[in-house]
């Protein structure tokens, strides 16, 4: 599924968060979105699954323009595009298995099955698949534990398992490592690479920790600043100058700027 983004612009109030973005992402690419907070990377990502409706421009997924007004079409799109979050967004007081099974909720079902799922009864085949995926993310033994008893890294793997239940062609990840330590963060990105290799899934990751941007995990980096696309290339091509243009002067911002009133 190719993603084509054409002339995309979006304003929140007076603030322009996306300014005429043009971009094509081929199936199976491993893309990182980088940029300062407020640079528009999350907004760009969220317009791919219809959480944000752009003001101008269009996104074409798999040759089909997203019609943001049609709820049905947006739902069908979302069923194919999975999402992973910074704060995991899990239901803490239920089991790992239930959380993973909720990944199938966008699937088309006949009425009787839909009613059963609405009452909390999933099909055996779904449960089997959920357990297989939990095996893949190495959480097979935790399936009937409550999510609130897990560590941060384990929670993120549950969230990834939920996303994999959708058998997504595209996997969006909004700062999936920001709440984890570097070591765990690397494991999560490695998992994304593994998913990418296995299913040829496109992965798009918004990421803040520069030390995690390497060709091991990504084959393309897209840099945004003030809503404009200012870098698009291989991780190797990220020079000090480019980083400065994206993040401003890194050294000075650490040393010279003082905290305002908090």
Q: Which residue ranges make up the site for another protein (CB under 8 A)?
A: 49, 51, 74-79, 81-83, 85, 87-94, 98, 102-106, 114, 117-120, 144, 159, 162, 166
Cα separation, 39 vs 25, in Å, equals 20
User: What is the rounded distance in angstroms from the CA atom of residue 22 to the CA atom of residue 165?
Assistant: 31
Which DSSP symbol is given to 169?
S
Q: Which is nearer to another protein, 77 or 238 (CB)?
A: 77
As a three-state string, the secondary structure of 51-100 is CCCCCEEEEEECCEECCCCCHHHHHHHHHHEEEECCCCCCCCCCEHHHHH
Are 195 and 164 a contacting pair, CB within 8 Å? yes
* CB of residue 157 to another protein, shortest distance in Å: 15
**What tokens appear for 217 in the block?**
């995990």
Residue 179 vs 193, nearer CB to another protein: 179
Least CB distance to another protein at residue 190 (A)? 22
CB of 257 to another protein, least distance (A): 28
Q: How far is the CB of 75 from another protein (least distance, A)?
A: 4
Q: Which residue, 158 or 191, has its beta carbon nearer to another protein?
A: 158
Comparing C-alpha atoms, which of 134, 201, 121, 206 is closest to residue 165?
A: 134
Q: In this structure, are residues 172 and 204 in contact, taking their beta carbons and an 8 Å threshold?
A: yes
| Choice between 62 and 197, CB closer to another protein | 62
Q: From the CB of 223, what's the least distance to another protein, in Å? A: 25
Q: Which is nearer to another protein, 58 or 167 (CB)?
A: 167
Residue closer to another protein, measured from CB, 89 or 245: 89
39: DSSP letter:
S
130: nearest Cα among 153, 164, 172: 164
Sign for the CA dihedral angle at 108, 97, 168, 228 comes to: positive
CB of 119 to another protein, least distance (A): 7
CB of 169 to another protein, least distance (A): 13
Residue with smaller CB distance to another protein, 82 or 180: 82
What is the layout of strands, in order, in the sheet containing 220-225? 81-84, 170-174, 202-206, 30-34, 220-225, 228-233
């Amino acid at each position: 599924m190719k993603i084509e983004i054409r002339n995309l612009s979006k304003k929140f109030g007076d603030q322009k968060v996306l300014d005429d973005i043009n971009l094509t992402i081929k199936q199976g690419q491993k893309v990182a979105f980088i940029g300062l907070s407020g640079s528009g990377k999350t907004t760009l990502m969220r317009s791919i699954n219809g959480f944000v409706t752009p003001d101008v421009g269009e996104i074409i997924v798999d040759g089909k323009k997203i019609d943001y007004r049609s709820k049905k079409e947006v739902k069908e799109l979302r069923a194919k595009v999975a999402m992973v979050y910074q704060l995991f967004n899990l239901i803490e007081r239920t089991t790992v298995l239930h959380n993973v099974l909720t990944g199938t909720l966008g699937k088309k079902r006949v009425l009787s099955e839909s009613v059963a799922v609405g009452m909390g009864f999933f099909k055996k085949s779904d449960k089997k698949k959920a357990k297989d995926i939990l095996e893949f993310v190495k959480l097979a033994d935790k399936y009937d534990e409550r999510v609130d008893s897990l560590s941060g890294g384990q929670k993120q793997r549950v969230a990834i398992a939920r996303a994999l239940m959708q058998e997504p062609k595209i996997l969006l990840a909004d700062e999936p490592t920001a709440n984890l330590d570097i070591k765990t963060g690397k494991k999560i990105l490695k998992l994304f690479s593994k998913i990418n290799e296995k299913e040829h899934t496109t992965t798009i990751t918004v990421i803040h920790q520069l030390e995690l941007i390497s060709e091991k995990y990504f084959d393309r980096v897209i840099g945004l600043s003030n809503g404009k696309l200012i870098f698009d290339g291989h991780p190797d091509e990220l020079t000090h100058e480019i980083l400065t243009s994206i993040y401003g002067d890194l050294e000075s911002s650490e040393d010279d700027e003082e905290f305002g009133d908090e």
